[in-house]
């Protein structure tokens, strides 16, 4: 997410000589790093300009005379945060999507430079004292909340510590940034390959096989990129191929990232101790909705109680089914779980996940998601084909309001970078590029994804789970754009408490299951036939199976993330903890050699707070329960959701956003109903 949300900081930049105006070169585009040219030198020059602008804002703040006010102190502070956010967001973006290693290297170096600058701002006592001297606004709740939140982040950063302690914090924060970037870079660069015979590809879709040309010896080379990996795990009949692919995927960046991760965990623990916290998990949750590591543990236990019995019943059904197909089978391994779940869904619900792929060619899905979001959120997307972008495959759209009284007003811009490239980040994410400032600057954001398609002759047929992922990530974009219409750059949608940020995206996922929405874009790429309602019924029934196990898997990742951050390094055995948590939360048997932690990039982004996905699933399904299921897009709930949840951004505590929409705090009842929902299978053949 946005840099200024996770690292409030800024470095004291060296004074720069001022060139006479007539001799100055033309200024670079202050909002778009790639407009300066996608070469390392241009990126560095662009970042330095942003840092110089931030320094000027800080100087203006510190040197203001007279009583401290919102205008002479908070405004330049927010302007500095805006410059740092743009610099950090886009330096990281070039690191993630850059077209060559030198550019990615420079992006990595510039992220470290901006983060170091940001750390110094968070430790700047003059700035903190100036902000603290501003009288609390009495008639502007949003500004009051932003000011209070900023002061809290300063205290958590250690601004009140002595000089030596602040210097140590600065050094530790710089090290954490460097290690996190190294960890992510190692994952992106380690694309592993698996060789398979034609016979081993049995069960995979014909278009998948056609994309892979055999070598002279007749073998096929597959990679651990998502478009290759996911279909193998779901559809390949050959268990040995599934196991080889699983281990290749879970061993990415191993062993190098094991030592990087241990160093990162040690440094975070040292930072927490330096700031007076017993462990990093307590520090990381102090400004979140959850409040503390103890509250987090209690919450995870509550969700475990709500989902464990269902998960065990689901696995028992799956194992009994698999044993009938394969007599003598004693258990199902992690490398076989997706395959057997797919086979079970086919038998019980008469649903083959491959059967919907022809209805989801990538280009049509993109059009459909834009259409759905436009309808739901009352906005309009207009393509910008001449926009300057970092890669020719990127699509750009300007977003306009379609709701009175502001219909026709431009709200921001989005970029869709949706297919794999060499060196590009391998995950699926949404990124803030430019914060919004009412009347001054429109928000811009981007998706970084790795879906099939994007090449001539490849329709990019997507699995329905991939379409759900697209909906999810687009939910982040809408939160950023609609929540970026406020007066403060630091109060946009991505600046809410970190453990609320996944709620809007997970809410939008639920829209995928509505036939009327799917029928608007899901057409067979060969025949043009609209996806049949009966097929969607069976898909929904099949998809509902396994929700208990899905929640348990999220508890596994959440627990592991917490455990490696709530104890001294001497008590952390990455492999033993992984095996322990799999044994507790996953009914599937462990595959020896699984080193998932080496490529678990959420450990650098969310650190101890992966639980965000679980908490926000609780909130998201509670949100969705308020919609009229027979009129998802046109009912009044959609605009109420936009007005009360998305548009406020971070102008009030996330708990208040929840109450404003629900009329009460969230509770776990909707999650229980979601886990145990039963869709009546349409024309199903029930497994015995």
Domain coordinates in residue numbering, the chain: 3-122+124-157, 191-250
Which residues on adjacent β-strands are paired with residue 444?
A: 413, 434
Q: How confident is the model at residue 610 (pLDDT cuts 50, 70, 90)?
A: very high
Which residues on adjacent β-strands are paired with residue 437?
A: 441
Provide the b/e sequence for 207-224 (b: ≥16 CB within 10 Å): bbeebbeeeeeeebebbb
Q: Is the pLDDT of residue 438 over 70?
A: yes
Which residues on adjacent β-strands are paired with residue 447?
A: 416, 430
Supply φ then ψ for residue 429, to 5 degrees. -155, 165
Supply φ then ψ for residue 426, to 5 degrees. -95, 0
Lowest pLDDT segment from 20-34, 353-367, 630-644: 20-34
Q: What tokens were used for 299? A: 């919450």
Fold (topology level) of 3-122+124-157: Glutathione S-transferase Yfyf (Class Pi); Chain A, domain 2 (1.20.1050)
Q: Is the pLDDT of residue 652 over 80?
A: yes
Work out the burial of residue 602: count CB atoms within 10 Å of its CB; fewer than 13 is exposed, 13-18 middle, 19 or more buried. Answer: middle
User: Does residue 453 sit in helix, strand or coil?
Assistant: coil
Closest to 78 in 3D by CA, of 484, 652, 491, 443: 491
Return d(Cα 589, Cα 536) in angstroms, integer.
Answer: 32
Question: What is the per-residue pLDDT across 461-517, written as a single tens digit (0 to 9) for each?
Answer: 999 999 999 999 999 999 999 999 999 999 999 999 999 999 999 999 999 999 999
Q: How confident is the model at residue 175 (pLDDT cuts 50, 70, 90)?
A: very high
- Give the mean pLDDT of 239-251: 98
Q: What tokens were used for 62? A: 């510190």
Return d(Cα 685, Cα 346) in angstroms, integer.
Answer: 8
pTM of whole model > 0.85? yes
Lowest pLDDT segment from 132-136, 362-366, 633-637: 633-637
Q: Is the pLDDT of residue 684 over 70?
A: no
Q: Is the pLDDT of residue 10 over 60?
A: no
Q: CB count, 10 Å around CB of 636?
A: 10
Q: Identify the DSSP state of 490.
A: G
User: Does residue 529 sit in helix, strand or coil?
Assistant: coil
Percent of the chain scored above 70 by pLDDT? 95
Question: What is the per-residue pLDDT across 28-82, written as a single tens digit (0 to 9) for each?
Answer: 799 999 988 778 999 999 999 999 999 999 999 999 999 999 999 999 999 999 9
Return d(Cα 348, Cα 341) in angstroms, integer.
Answer: 10
């Amino acid at each position: 997410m946005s840099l200024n949300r996770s690292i409030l900081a800024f470095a004291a930049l060296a004074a720069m000589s001022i060139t006479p105006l007539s001799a100055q070169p033309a200024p670079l585009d202050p909002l778009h790093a790639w407009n300066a040219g996608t070469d390392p030198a241009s990126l560095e020059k662009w970042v330095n300009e942003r840092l110089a602008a931030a320094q000027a804002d800080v100087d203006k703040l510190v040197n203001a005379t007279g009583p401290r006010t919102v205008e002479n102190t908070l405004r330049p502070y927010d302007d500095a945060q805006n410059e740092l956010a743009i610099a950090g967001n886009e330096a990281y973006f070039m690191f993630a999507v850059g077209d060559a290693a030198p550019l990615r290297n420079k992006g990595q170096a510039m992220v470290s430079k901006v983060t170091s600058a940001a750390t110094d701002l968070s430790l700047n006592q003059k700035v903190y004292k100036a902000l603290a001297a501003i009288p609390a606004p009495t008639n502007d709740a949003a500004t009051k909340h932003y000011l209070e939140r900023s002061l809290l982040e300063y205290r958590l950063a250690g601004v009140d510590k002595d000089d030596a302690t602040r210097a140590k914090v600065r050094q530790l924060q710089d090290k954490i940034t460097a290690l996190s970037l190294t960890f992510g870079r190692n994952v992106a660069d380690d694309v592993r390959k698996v060789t398979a015979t034609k016979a081993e590809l049995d069960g995979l879709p014909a278009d998948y096989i056609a994309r892979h040309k055999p070598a002279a010896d007749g073998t096929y080379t597959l990679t651990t990129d998502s478009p290759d990996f996911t279909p193998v795990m779901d559809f390949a009949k050959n268990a040995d191929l599934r196991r080889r692919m699983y281990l290749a995927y879970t061993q990415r960046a191993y062993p190098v990232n094991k030592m990087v991760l241990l160093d990162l965990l040690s440094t975070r623990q040292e930072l927490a101790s330096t700031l007076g916290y017993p462990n990093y998990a307590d520090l990381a949750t102090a400004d979140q909705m959850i409040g503390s590591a103890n509250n987090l543990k209690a919450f995870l236990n509550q969700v475990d109680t709500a989902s464990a019995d269902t998960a065990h019943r689901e696995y028992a059904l799956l194992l009994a089914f698999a044993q009938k197909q394969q007599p003598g089978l004693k258990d199902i391994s992690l490398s076989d779980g997706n395959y057997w779940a797919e086979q079970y869904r086919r038998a019980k619900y008469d649903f083959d996940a491959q059967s919907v792929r022809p209805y989801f060619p990538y280009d049509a899905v993109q059009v459909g998601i834009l259409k759905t979001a436009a309808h739901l959120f009352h906005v309009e997307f207009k393509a910008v084909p001449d926009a300057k972008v970092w890669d020719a495959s990127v699509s750009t759209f300007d977003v306009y309001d379609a709701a009175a009284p502001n219909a026709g007003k431009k709200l921001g811009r989005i970029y869709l970078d949706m297919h794999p490239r060499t060196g590009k980040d391998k995950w699926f994410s949404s990124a803030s590029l430019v914060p919004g400032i009412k009347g001054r600057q429109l928000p811009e954001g981007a998706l970084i994804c790795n879906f099939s398609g994007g090449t001539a002759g490849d329709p990019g047929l997507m699995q329905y789970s991939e379409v759900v992922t697209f909906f999810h990530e687009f939910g982040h974009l809408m939160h950023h754009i609609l929540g970026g219409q406020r007066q403060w750059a630091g109060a946009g949608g991505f600046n809410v408490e970190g453990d609320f940020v996944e709620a809007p995206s997970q809410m939008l996922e639920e829209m995928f299951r509505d036939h009327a929405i799917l029928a608007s874009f899901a057409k067979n790429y060969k025949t043009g036939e609209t996806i049949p309602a009966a097929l969607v019924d069976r898909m929904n029934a099949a998809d509902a199976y396994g929700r208990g196990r899905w929640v348990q898997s999220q508890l596994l990742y959440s627990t592991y993330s917490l455990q490696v951050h709530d104890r001294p390094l001497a008590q952390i055995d990455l492999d033993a903890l992984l095996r322990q948590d799999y044994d507790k939360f996953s009914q599937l048997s462990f595959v020896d050699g699984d080193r998932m932690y080496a490529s678990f990039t959420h450990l650098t982004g969310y650190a101890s707070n992966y639980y965000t996905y679980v908490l926000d699933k609780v909130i998201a399904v509670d949100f969705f329960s308020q919609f009229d299921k027979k009129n998802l897009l046109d009912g009044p709930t959609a605009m109420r959701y936009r007005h009360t949840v998305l548009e406020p951004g971070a102008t009030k505590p996330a708990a208040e956003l929840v109450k404003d929409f629900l009329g009460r705090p969230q509770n776990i009842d909707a999650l229980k109903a979601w886990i145990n929902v039963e869709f009546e299978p349409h024309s199903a053949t029930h497994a015995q």
